[in-house]
């Protein structure tokens, strides 16, 4: 099966290459040619005139079923939000609620240009089944908390997820180990997970230094920052690591992260909305540390639109450092594509529009008043586009949305279903 996208603006994300007009030729699940493909035959031809074709966005930190709790408990401090609202509501969720919440998140992500996401939650087999059915690409992990007696059960579930799903769904699903955070994983338990991850050559996905309270808690308990704690257990030398948030990092912490295999998932909208702070993204990038973008769950961020994260990320850094040249458009777009792919160890397959890579592609409709006129396309994508401007979403060569219509999800039925479920879940909380 061959598909051709003709006469689009190609935003390749390769090196310093500038956008240019051209075609993309896709065979089965891969891009096989880029540029002038006018002489190449195709079974399906898509007119890309007036559209920007770019790599699908990569959401490097998510809790997808929390979409059912969107705008339910806003304007609270993080621990109040978590203890008083999120945890009690989540305790009311059934496995089918988890499935519905994941479907809702995937519908939103597809409609706003995300083709790959990293997810940490419970009932991960159910989420994996939903990924397989809908057609997205995902890196999945069962969250592990070792402060309660059921830590062993969670570990068993994590291993089952890895054994059952790693490399499955046409290779669209990969897995990680997911110790929740330094403050919920004592040294012995975390060392055990690190050893398993090293043995199986799998990455670790863990929250890090999201709040000042977390930093103070670790200092009181271990006399270390959260970063020093992870470093002392050998995490950074032994594993590829995806660190979610990384808001409160001292200069000494950043030096410990230099040379890290993996990097940091920056979640600017959630961090802003919860008043957590501004991560030192500019310093991290200066030190050669990979930084991607994530949304966190919709329960905190409200939106899963990565184009909103792109804007927030670059504007926050410009403001923080008082320098408008920091984190320019091309760099922040790479954070949402190539750098995110690197964090998930998928940059050999996705993240750029390169022949040989998987056909994970989005088309952005530029034929709109707020996107005219066209001067510098990368600036327009970073500072002007929002998720509703995404017209077409392709994953693994399969069209999941065309002309804003979802093709693998019944959107109307989904919206009816999640409304009734969410009302039951939050009742009395």
Instruction: Look at residues 155, 156, 212, 154 and name the one whose alpha carbon lies nearest to residue 183.
Output: 212
Give CA–CA dist 241/331, Å, rounded. 21
Model pLDDT, residue 393: 99
Mean pLDDT of all residues in 44-70: 97
Long-range contacts, 16-24 (Cβ 8 Å, 24+): 16/330, 18/378, 19/52, 19/377, 19/378, 23/48, 24/48, 24/53, 24/353, 24/359, 24/361
Domains identified in the chain and CATH numbers: 2-55+358-406 (2.30.40.10), 57-343 (3.20.20.140)
Assign 254 a pLDDT band (cuts: 50, 70, 90).
very high
Model pLDDT, residue 82: 84
Residue-wise pLDDT for 21-56, tens only, equals 999 999 999 999 999 999 999 999 999 999 999 999
Three-class SS of residue 241? strand
- Is pLDDT above 70 for 261? yes
Mean pLDDT of all residues in 316-341: 98
- Is pLDDT above 70 for 428? yes
Assign 151 a pLDDT band (cuts: 50, 70, 90).
low
Assign 78 a pLDDT band (cuts: 50, 70, 90).
confident
- Is pLDDT above 90 for 149? no
Q: Are 124 and 141 in contact (CB under 8 A)?
A: yes
Model pLDDT, residue 73: 85
> 74-83, 174-183, 398-407: which has the minimum mean pLDDT?
74-83
Assign 67 a pLDDT band (cuts: 50, 70, 90).
very high
Model pLDDT, residue 64: 97
Mean pLDDT of all residues in 147-176: 92
Q: What is the pTM of this model?
A: 0.97
Mean pLDDT of all residues in 214-230: 97
Instruction: Outline where 183-305 has alpha helix (H).
Output: 187-200, 212-222, 226-232, 235-238, 251-257, 268-273, 281-286, 298-301
Instruction: Look at residues 411, 356, 303, 364 and name the one whose alpha carbon lies nearest to residue 74.
Output: 303
């Amino acid at each position: 099966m061959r598909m051709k996208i003709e006469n689009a603006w190609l935003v390749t994300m390769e090196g310093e290459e500038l956008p240019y007009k051209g075609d993309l030729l896709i065979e089965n699940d891969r891009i096989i040619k880029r540029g002038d493909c006018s002489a190449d035959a195709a079974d399906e031809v898509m007119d890309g005139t007036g559209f920007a074709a770019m790599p699908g966005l990569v959401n490097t930190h998510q809790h997808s079923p929390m979409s059912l709790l969107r705008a339910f408990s806003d304007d609270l401090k993080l621990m109040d939000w978590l203890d008083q609202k999120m945890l009690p509501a989540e305790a009311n969720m059934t496995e089918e609620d988890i499935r519905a919440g994941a479907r809702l998140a995937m519908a939103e992500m597809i409609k706003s240009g995300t083709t790959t996401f990293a997810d940490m939650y419970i009932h991960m087999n159910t989420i994996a089944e939903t990924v397989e059915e809908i057609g997205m690409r995902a890196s999945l992990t069962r969250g592990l908390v070792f402060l309660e007696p059921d830590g062993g059960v969670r570990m068993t579930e994590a291993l089952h997820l890895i054994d059952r799903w790693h490399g499955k769904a046409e290779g669209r699903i990969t897995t990680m180990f997911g110790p929740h955070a330094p403050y919920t994983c004592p040294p012995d338990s975390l060392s055990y997970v690190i050893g398993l991850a090293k043995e199986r050559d799998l990455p670790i996905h863990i929250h890090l230094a999201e709040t000042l309270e977390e930093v103070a808690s670790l200092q009181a308990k271990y006399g270390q920052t959260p970063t020093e704690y992870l470093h002392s257990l050998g995490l950074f030398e032994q594993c590829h690591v995806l660190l979610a948030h990384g808001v409160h990092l001292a200069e000494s912490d950043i030096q410990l992260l230099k040379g890290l295999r993996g990097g940091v998932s920056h979640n600017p909208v959630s961090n802003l909305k919860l008043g957590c702070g501004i991560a030192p993204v500019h310093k991290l990038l200066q030190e050669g540390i990979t930084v991607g973008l994530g949304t966190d769950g919709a329960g905190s961020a409200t939106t899963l639109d990565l184009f909103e994260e792109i804007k927030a990320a670059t504007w926050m850094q410009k403001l923080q450092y008082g320098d408008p040249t920091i984190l320019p458009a091309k760099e922040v777009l790479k954070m949402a594509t190539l750098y995110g792919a690197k964090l998930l160890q998928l940059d050999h397959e996705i993240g750029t529009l390169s022949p040989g890579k998987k056909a994970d592609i989005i088309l952005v409709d530029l034929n709109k008043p707020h996107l005219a006129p066209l001067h510098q396309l990368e600036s327009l994508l970073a500072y002007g586009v929002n998720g509703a401007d995404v017209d077409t979403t392709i994953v693994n060569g399969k069209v999941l949305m065309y002309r804003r219509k979802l093709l693998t999800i019944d959107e109307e039925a989904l919206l009816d279903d999640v409304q009734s479920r969410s009302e039951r879940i939050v009742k009395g909380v």
